[in-house]
Chain A
């Protein structure tokens, strides 16, 4: 039986656990920082010395930690790209913009255990010689911003922050910066522009890789809240020990946000890959199964941008069995919930948010809902994304309002296919296309049937299609 494995969520929901520093200290808080500051330079076999900072960075590499924000990129590798020779200051930004639909894990850490994040940040900053760091928190979390500010103040009072931290000679300041309701601020270069006081227009890469030309054109590290919390645990446990958690190349734990139509939606921390999608949905320890009398229709496995999985879909997964590479046919419910398996299934674990959709849901309506999100959130810099996301949303709108056409399914895919693949500045282009491409490919009958039914009705009534106005918007039809 798969179980929850609480590393980051260890204390935060326990009765009596509070977000103040005294409570955190009673639970071993800031021990990782003390440990990090006490590391001595180490002699290497080649006669060189490894600084304490290099040792922590090596440990993060050994831990195998992959970013928890969406792309799953190796944290150790990201840190190794930082330009340390430019002589410019290095900045670190915590991405607390959490706005990928379906995701609600960072919210828990920020509101219930802010010091865990702050300690993770201080250790990460120390390891990267960062003297000034920011927490970019989404504007819709005003309480979270206040809690973080209070926590930073407490940490300053105890000299975990500020000048000469705990007598180590290391100085660091962290400030909270609030966003103002735009999803694109979660994209790291959009976030940096926003932090510079501008519109959050993502920057083109190359040349604007944050590790070289980030905040104020200085080397910058952007990491997700959960990623930074993990660094604290890596320092405590040691990289190799951390790497034993989870599965090879998918190490550590992940907090899975489970929402939609299950009995027990919520956030569950697991060892990466040690539970399958089916277990997360059906196991009494997790989702507890579908609502009574319902059947599974689809699963969005990694936040709204990930490609949808259809109930009953099968994939060929590459596995190593007794040292041999074999392909194993795997049902979508039996996919281990990790980075690599989902990638092999043509989708991604993204922000580790599972949205469960049952047979009471109009799948066209579900996609229309998501497309409206993307049409609203495109920053508007790139024509394919700005226009394409809007066209897709308008087409889905007419399909869900009795004004569809038979060929709308193909039309949607044609638009979606023309957005991603290097035609846009940022990955939002992919993010808005993937749901459309996958929903239409996997549920094409339903899209075509809807359009055909509308055409039939119009033929009978001898009327032309009309444009449904926003005022006629209907709710997403579900059985309840």
Chain B
């Protein structure tokens, strides 16, 4: 399978690069753009970014391995991120995480990324999402939800098509 970036995405990327006096600065933004399009960062994507910015592939790969948001393999189509940190834990986020896991047939004790067999959902614990006053909070792809009860959780799952 050959790796190719559609022309409109490449145009968007070229524009992003102009935001910086030094091209390398654009690497996080390029990785975000590619991950949004392809779902994860493949070795080919890493090489593509390196070439685009005049870097060695290792300069890009070390970002993919460091920053928690970048994925080296495809997660589920709907990514559920439940906040694990103190205020949310006090507000019931561990129960919420467990609820998602049991509903989706995943291990409620595993904190890391788990994906359902059909590839539709992944669930993981993440650190404080800056919504602590409305605990427990979570994200589903780009959407942010606060005060998530089990009922609301079921509605969120139901809304994932």
- Least distance between B141 CB and chain A CB atoms (Å): 9
Residue numbers in B under 8 Å from A156 (CB-CB): none
Q: A101-B85, A471-B109 are in contact. Are A195 and B25 (CB under 8 A)?
A: yes
B27 interfacial by beta-carbon distance below 8 Å:
yes
- Contact partner of B66 (CB less than 8 A), chosen from A104, A199, A475, is A199
Decide: B126 and A181 in contact? CB cutoff 8 A: yes
A106 interfacial by beta-carbon distance below 8 Å:
yes
- Contact partner of B53 (CB less than 8 A), chosen from A98, A139, A183, A197, is A197
Decide: B90 and A478 in contact? CB cutoff 8 A: yes
Q: A199-B62, A259-B135, A370-B86 are in contact. Are A180 and B126 (CB under 8 A)?
A: no
A258 interfacial by beta-carbon distance below 8 Å:
yes
Question: Bound state CA distance, A177 and B33, in angstroms?
Answer: 12
Decide: B85 and A304 in contact? CB cutoff 8 A: yes
- Contact partner of B94 (CB less than 8 A), chosen from A98, A142, A267, A475, is A475
- Contact partner of A182 (CB less than 8 A), chosen from B66, B95, B128, is B66
- Contact partner of A304 (CB less than 8 A), chosen from B24, B26, B29, B86, is B86
Question: Bound state CA distance, A194 and B20, in angstroms?
Answer: 13
Q: Return the chain A residue nearest B86 by Cβ.
A: A369
Decide: B86 and A196 in contact? CB cutoff 8 A: no
Decide: A143 and B90 in contact? CB cutoff 8 A: no
Q: A101-B127, A142-B142 are in contact. Are A178 and B28 (CB under 8 A)?
A: yes
Interface string of B5-41 (1 = CB under 8 A from A): 0000000000000011110111111011000000000
B139 interfacial by beta-carbon distance below 8 Å:
yes
Question: Bound state CA distance, A91 and B85, in angstroms?
Answer: 33
Decide: B85 and A194 in contact? CB cutoff 8 A: no
Residue numbers in B under 8 Å from A139 (CB-CB): 32, 67, 69
B132 interfacial by beta-carbon distance below 8 Å:
yes
Number of B positions contacting A (CB below 8 A) = 51
Decide: B87 and A355 in contact? CB cutoff 8 A: yes
Within 8 A of B (CB), among A163-196: 175, 177-183, 194-196
Residue numbers in B under 8 Å from A373 (CB-CB): 84-86, 127-128
- Least distance between B111 CB and chain A CB atoms (Å): 7
Decide: B86 and A178 in contact? CB cutoff 8 A: no
Decide: B134 and A265 in contact? CB cutoff 8 A: yes
Q: A102-B86, A259-B87, A355-B132 are in contact. Are A180 and B68 (CB under 8 A)?
A: yes
- Least distance between A47 CB and chain B CB atoms (Å): 39
Within 8 A of B (CB), among A362-413: 366, 369-370, 372-373, 376-377
- Contact partner of B69 (CB less than 8 A), chosen from A101, A140, A197, A355, is A140
Decide: B90 and A261 in contact? CB cutoff 8 A: yes
Q: 7 smallest A-B Cβ distances: which pairs?
A: A475-B94, A180-B67, A181-B69, A181-B68, A259-B132, A197-B24, A197-B27
| Chain A interface residues (CB < 8 Å from chain B) | 98-104, 106-107, 132, 138-143, 175, 177-183, 194-200, 216, 257-261, 265-267, 300, 304, 353, 355, 357, 361, 366, 369-370, 372-373, 376-377, 470-473, 475-476, 478, 480
Given A106-B130, A182-B68; 18 other pairs, CB 8 A cutoff:
A102-B86, A104-B133, A132-B21, A138-B130, A178-B29, A180-B28, A181-B67, A197-B25, A198-B63, A199-B63, A265-B134, A304-B85, A366-B90, A373-B127, A471-B109, A471-B110, A475-B94, A475-B95
| Chain B interface residues (CB < 8 Å from chain A) | 19-22, 24-29, 31-32, 53, 59, 62-63, 66-70, 81, 84-87, 89-92, 94-95, 98, 107, 109-111, 126-135, 139, 142-144
Chain A to chain B contacts (Cβ below 8 Å), 25 pairs: A99-B127, A101-B87, A102-B132, A103-B130, A104-B133, A104-B134, A132-B21, A141-B144, A175-B20, A195-B25, A197-B63, A198-B59, A199-B66, A260-B86, A260-B87, A265-B87, A267-B133, A353-B132, A355-B132, A357-B90, A369-B85, A471-B107, A471-B110, A475-B95, A478-B90
